[in-house]
Structure 1
Amino acid sequence: MGIPSPSGKEGEIKEFVRNFLEERGYEVFESESFLLVNRKSEFVVATHLDTVPIKAEFRIEDGFAYGTGVADAKASLTAMLEVAEKGVDYAMAFFCEEEETGKGSKEFLSYWNGKYAVVMEPTNLRIASKHFGCIEADLTFKGFPCHASMPEHGTNAIEKAINTYLRLSKKFRVSILRIDGGGYEYVIPEYCTARFDFLLEPNQLSSAMEELRKVDAEIVILEAVDGFYSGKVAEILARAIRNAGFEPEFTVMPSWTDACNLVKKFDVVVWGPGELRDCHTTREKVDLREIEIAKKVLWKLNGLWKEF
């Protein structure tokens, strides 16, 4: 946590991780946007090195670590490095720019030819064997301006955005992440731009795109990926959890993660310490006990994946 690593500025932490692994005898494959060890293994555990911009300073209090990035995802990084120090027979990958472009995991697809991937993200150590898809899009609505005292003679672009949200939210999980329009002049707004974020069940992408195309707005799609279900890799992880002395629990990953890129080639599951709900806020935290449990599970993955 002493090394800040907002997206696009991962150089220092990337160097730290590379040196840590090399000093412990690993041959590290390095690209511009990721690190990889044990490249020939067919099983990889991965996480990302970057965080969102710093919103809260690091501190430890009452058994919890607080601060930007503690759960998303430096708790996972910590667990991985501490287990790597003991020695692992599976691959480990460390991605850059997960919080922005997903560049690290995109590039990784061309460099690794394995079968199974565990992407470590905050799930409170529950196995996220179902992963939502998403659409992120900027919509620009055009209205018709008129004097604000006579709104019946105009079309309010902000109201068009709100009505679109209300209509779409009856069919899909949609949030407006940003909205901009109007001004302080006494006039009905002519333009409104809003960023819409859809959380989609597996196989829901095509229907959401169809509804989006019906919207009376200029649309720029920033991201569009379908959801998915994990396969055998979830069974492998569940076995490791049992072998570590715990009972596996399951959940859904609602957010975009590097798994959305990796699933294009591999059987992927998401799992890790920390609570997603408070990530990207000043309340971000992780229970230190979860890091210790994660280490035990990662250790039990040694050799286990070869049995499947």
Structure 2
Amino acid sequence: MTALLERVLQGVNEERLRKNLLEMLDIYSPSGKEEDIQLYLEEVLSSAGCRVERQTVEEDRYNLKVVLGNGDPELFLVGHVDTVHAWDLEQVGAQEENGVIHALGSADMKGGCAAMLEAFLVLNEVLSPLEHPNVGLLLVVGEEENGDGSATFLESATPPWVVIGEPTGLAGCFSHFGYLEAGFVTHGLKRHSSLPELGHNAVESMLRVLLHLGKDPLFNRDRSQVVYSIREMHSSQKGFVVPDRCETWIDLHLPPDRSPVDVQEAIRRVAEDAKLYIPGLKMTVDFDFAAAGYNLGTENRPAEILRKLYPQLGLNLHLDAFRSHSDGNLFFAAGVKPLILGPGALETAHTPDEQVPFREVVAAARIYAALCLLMGRS
């Protein structure tokens, strides 16, 4: 380990990191309402002497960008500051128990953002300007909705590499699942509910469609690599009547080498086939969003750094594929190589039990700082 790297790793301030993380978790920042947390982060960075640039996404919504060094950044640390909406507004705020911090956004991904913030504070604090690597920090809005923050950044910059702090349990994910959002609508005939035989129940048709889909090999959870989840289903609810419309949305996460177009065609085939088995079926199928996965391989500079760094930090390196959707798909489509790596587990993200071990946040800060130092210096 070089003396410069040792200085950076030793410079991580756990007390400051904990304080900033807890403050961030106490600021409610669902997608579309990120200004309060951006104001907090801007103040922290500016007070430390960093030059912070606001990057406007839309009125009252902006990314924060900080660049170190004198050349074009070789690497950006990217974190999204928005969260999903709270399950219960009275439960917003952090609680720490036995070294684990529980709060909305703790894993997805304010834990990663706090670690990235600390990494940049350390680089700016312990290194002289001449020692600064050519790297950037990007704190974006809107990831949980449509990725408009990252899309805005990509309109003017495409760095060689980004590290995105989504929750991976500190596994290094150089491959990433694709994503497909499928919408099904069944149509029926509305009649008084005491006379269902005179109508056509759109909910019953939808249930039969879903059972039919479940029998196809594409949706066989034991055999198919495609991960699917029926996210929501609702129907026309007014009146004491047979429902004439039912809508269902299904999330599909596709292995890195699986084409979203091929999966769309397979779903359309199964849906068309359902008409042979479901009398009177009238159904439309739409795909609102699709993103291809990717596989960068593990023979590259960041992977080489991680292989040497993790043993020095007392960590076991696990390389995996990121199974969810993230801004990583967006960066890859723009020609940027994204590494997904962050504290916390995807299993608790978006749930009332969301949590992150603080020791992982500390380790992530050191990993990010090391990657910046070693990737951003020629």
Query: With structure 2 as the length reference, what TM-score do the two structures score?
Result: 0.74
Change (3 A) 1:189 1:37: same
Letter paired with 1:67 = A
User: Which residue pairs with 1:287 in the alignment?
Assistant: 357
Partners of 2:366 and 2:150 in 1: how far apart? Answer: 25
2:118 is aligned to 82
Residues 239-277 of structure 1: per-residue CA shift (max 9 Å, x gap): 343453422112332221111111112111211001111
* Contact persistence 1:133–1:200 (CA under 8 A): yes
SS in 2 for 1:302: helix
CA gap of 1:156–1:234, structure 2 versus 1, over 3 A, is: farther
- Residue-by-residue CA offset, 1:2-37 (whole Å, 9 max, x unaligned): 222111111111122122222223222221231222
Q: 1:120 aligned to 159, 162, 165, which one? A: 165
Partner of 1:9: 33
Amino acid at match of 1:213: R
Task: Tell me the alpha carbon deviations over residues 56-84 of structure 1, each in whole angstroms, 9 at most, x when there is no partner.
Answer: 33211111100111111111111111121
Q: Which 5+ residue runs of structure 1 have no aligned equivalent?
A: none
Following superposition, the deviation at residue 115 of structure 1 comes to 0.5
Equivalenced residue count is: 308
Match runs of 1:144-223 below 5 Å: 144-145=189-190, 155-169=200-214, 170=216, 171-172=218-219, 173-181=227-235, 183=237, 187-202=241-256, 203-214=258-269, 215=271, 217-223=283-289
Moved more, 94-103 or 146-155: 146-155
Matches within 5 A, 1:84-99: 84-87=120-123, 89=133, 90-99=135-144
> Matched residues in 2 for 1:125 and 1:74: separation?
14
Q: Which amino acid aligns with 2:138?
A: A
Aligned residue for 2:325?
256
- Tell me the CA shift for residue 155 of structure 1: 4.1
Q: Which amino acid aligns with 1:164?
A: V
Equivalents in 1 of 2:85, 2:238: separation in Å?
31
Query: Alignment partner of 2:372: what SS?
Result: coil
Correspondent of 1:135 among 152, 175, 180: 180
Match of residue 34 from structure 1 = 63
Deviation of 1:154 after TM superposition, in Å, equals 5.2
Which has the higher mean CA deviation after the structures are superposed, 101-110 or 50-59? 50-59
The structure 2 residue matched to 1:44, chosen from 45, 67, 76, is 76
State the distance in 1 between where 2:48 and 2:152 align. Answer: 26
Structure with the bigger percentage of helix: 2
Q: Is the 8 A contact 2:302 2:375 kept in 1?
A: no
Q: Aligned partners of 1:128, 1:272: CA distance in 2, in Å?
A: 10
Give the superposition deviation at 1:279: 1.2
Aligned position for 1:227:
293
**CA deviation string 1:74-128 (max 9, x = no partner):** 1111111112111163211111011112111111112223101111111111122
Query: What is the CA–CA distance in structure 1 between the aligned matches of 2:150 and 2:177, rounded to whole Å?
Result: 18
CA contact (8 A) 1:130 1:228 kept: yes
Deviates more, 1:6-15 or 1:227-236: 227-236
Q: Which amino acid aligns with 2:231?
A: L
Q: Give the whole-Å Cα distance in 1 for the aligned partners of 2:95 and 2:136.
A: 31
Shift of 1:184: 8.0
In 2, the alpha carbon distance for the partners of 1:165 and 1:260 equals 28
Q: Do structure 1's residue 22 and structure 2's residue 24 form an aligned pair?
A: no
CA-atom RMSD, angstroms?
2.5
Q: Is the 8 A contact 1:3 1:13 kept in 2?
A: yes
In the alignment, what sits opposite 1:305? 375
